[in-house]
Each structure stands twice: as C-alpha cells, then as structure tokens.
C-alpha cells in the first residue's frame, strides 16, 4: 500500500460566516492524500494505474471556488469529489486538510485547520 500526498495547495477563496470574508476573501492551504494499492503503478510505471495528482489539485481548486460558511463544508466536498472521481481505484483512505490563514477572530490566531479522513474496507 502507498500514499500520494499533494501538499499545501494555495488558494484565495471566499469562505466564512462574516459578510466581509465573503467579499474580501482570504488565503488557504489545502493538503490531500490518497492511500491505496499502487503496486501496479510501481511495476508498470503508467499514470493510468495511479492517482493523477494534477487531477487532485484541480478538484481542490474547483471546490475552493464554491463559497461556504465553514471550512468543514469545503473539506467534505473535496473528499467526496475525490472519492467520486477515483471510484474505480482500490482506495483504502482519502484525507483532506484545509488551513485558513489569519482568520478574522479576536486574538493572535495565525491559522485554523480542519482535517477529515475517510477509510474504505
């Protein structure tokens, strides 16, 4: 079993509960990972036998364009879309982490993040 990780994809998006967040937007970093049996890709060296990380990045960028109140909602949308796109692969785990950089909250909070994983049997 192996794990493909696409780390720290940068986005400027319009998520948040405050009207100002939806108008002004903010910076986000997203990491996604997919675990599965990639032994065929290891031996045959063909992209069709693996998870295309360009596609993972495009999924993240498309979902980040859709405004949400909560990053929890963004994370589950990304996770569900990855599962949908790669449903033909033998996956064991999909994970998504979205980091909101400098959220507009009281106090010195440099970032908040939400992480969710889905395991398959």
Instruction: Please return the burial class of 53, using the count of CB atoms within 10 Å of its CB with bins 0-12, 13-18 and 19+.
Output: middle
Q: What average pLDDT does this structure show over 18-45?
A: 95
Tens digit of each residue's pLDDT (9 = 90 or more) over 66-99? 999 999 999 999 999 999 999 988 899 999 999 9
The DSSP result for 5-69, as a single string, is EEEEEEEEE--SSSHHHHHH-EEEEEEEEEEE--HHHHHH--GGGS--HHHHHHHHHHHHTS--S
Instruction: Output the pTM of the full model.
Output: 0.94
Topology, domain 2-119: GTP Cyclohydrolase I, domain 2 (3.30.1130)
What band does 109 get if pLDDT is binned at 50, 70 and 90?
A: very high
Residue 121, pLDDT > 90, answer no
Calculate the average pLDDT of the chain. Answer: 95
Both structure tokens of 47 = 């992209």
Domain boundaries, the chain: 2-119
Q: What is the dihedral of CA 51, 54, 60, 64, to 10 degrees?
A: -170
Other Cβ atoms closer than 10 A to 15 = 22
Considering Cα of 81, then 87, then 89, then 93, what sign does the dihedral take?
Answer: positive
Tens digit of each residue's pLDDT (9 = 90 or more) over 41-71? 999 999 999 999 999 999 999 999 999 999 9
Residue 100, pLDDT > 80, answer yes
């Amino acid at each position: 079993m192996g794990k493909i990780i696409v780390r720290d994809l940068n986005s400027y998006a319009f998520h948040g509960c405050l009207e100002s967040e939806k108008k002004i937007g903010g910076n986000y970093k997203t990491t996604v990972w997919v675990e599965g049996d990639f032994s065929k890709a290891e031996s045959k060296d063909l992209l069709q036998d693996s998870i295309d990380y360009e596609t993972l990045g495009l999924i993240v960028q498309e979902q980040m364009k859709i405004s949400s109140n909560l990053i929890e909602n963004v994370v589950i949308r990304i996770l569900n879309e990855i599962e949908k796109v790669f449903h033909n692969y033998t996956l064991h785990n999909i994970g998504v982490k979205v980091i909101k950089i400098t959220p507009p909250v009281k106090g010195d909070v440099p970032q908040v993040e939400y992480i969710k994983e889905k395991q398959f049997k």
